[in-house]
Amino acid sequence: MSQFWLYFKLGLEHVLDWNAYDHILFLVVLVASYTFFGWKRVLWLVSIFTIGHTVSLFLSVYEIVIVSSRWVEFLIPITILITALFNIFTAKKKENTKNISLLYFTTAFFGIIHGLGFSTYFKMIAGSTDSKLLPLLEFALGIETAQVIVVLVVLILAFIFQNVLQVSRRDWILVLSSIVIGVILPILRDNYFAL
77-87 pLDDT per residue, tens = 999 999 999 99
Q: Which position has the higher pLDDT, 183 or 143?
A: 183
**pTM for the full predicted model:** 0.88
Backbone torsions φ then ψ of 85, nearest 5 degrees: -65, -40
Of 34, 57, 55, residue with least CA distance to 103: 34
- Domain chopping of the chain, boundaries: 2-193
